[in-house]
């Protein structure tokens, strides 16, 4: 059960994070900045200032897909290489931690363009960005706990992917 949780759960959490990032920064934030306008009107207003809302939104999608792809690679390669689950979990948590600076730098150009085009503050208005920051913060704390546990005990907090029979055979072989 733990193996499946780490192998599948990591990419699913990264995909959820990426989805929230794309929807909140690419759709909800522009609407919240100028609530009386449609997305088409916002795109036209940005276009007059030389900014492309569709391109900015697609850049968020690409960044999200890169994160999901890296997470899937971590799971696939980690499982095939029979890495410790803690190592695979560390990679997934690291991607979630990196989501905060990635989403900040991805949101910055759109916020500045919205401010220039519509005379509004370039800040974020919806609570969803805080959800991303909290997720990254909790991931950082989890990552640190996992690393400190491994350092303190010399053993990772999660078992390897060896079957029970393989572990027993290794234990018998050492005696």
Number of alpha carbons in the 13 Å side-chain half-sphere of residue 140: 11
- The 3-class secondary structure across 64-107, one letter per residue, is HHHHHHHHHHHHHHHHHCCCCHHHHHHHHHHHHHHHHHHHHHHH
pLDDT of res. 7? 95
Residues 101, 112, 121, CA angle at the centre, nearest 5°? 105
Residues 122, 29, 66, CA angle at the centre, nearest 5°? 100
User: What does the domain layout of the chain look like in residue ranges?
Assistant: 2-174
φ, ψ at 82 (rounded to 5°): 55, 45
Give the pLDDT means over successive 10-residue stretches in the chain (175 positions): 88 98 96 95 95 95 98 96 92 98 94 94 90 98 92 64 55 55
pLDDT of res. 124? 87
pLDDT of res. 151? 83
pLDDT of res. 111? 92
């Amino acid at each position: 059960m733990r193996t499946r949780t780490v192998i599948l759960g990591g990419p699913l959490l990264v995909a959820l994070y990426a989805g929230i990032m794309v929807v909140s920064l690419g759709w909800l934030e522009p609407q919240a900045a100028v609530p009386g306008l449609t997305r088409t009107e916002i795109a036209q207003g940005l276009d007059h200032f030389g900014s492309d809302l569709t391109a900015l939104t697609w850049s968020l999608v690409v960044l999200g897909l890169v994160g999901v792809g890296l997470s899937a690679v971590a799971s696939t390669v980690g499982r095939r290489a029979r890495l410790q689950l803690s190592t695979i979990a560390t990679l997934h948590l690291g991607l979630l931690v990196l989501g905060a600076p990635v989403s900040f730098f991805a949101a910055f150009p759109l916020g500045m363009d919205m401010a220039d085009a519509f005379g509004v503050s370039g800040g974020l208005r919806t609570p969803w960005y805080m959800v991303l920051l909290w997720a990254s913060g909790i991931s950082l704390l989890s990552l640190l706990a996992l690393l400190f546990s491994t350092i303190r005990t010399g053993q990772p907090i999660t078992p390897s992917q060896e079957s029970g029979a393989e572990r027993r055979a290794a234990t018998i072989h050492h005696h």
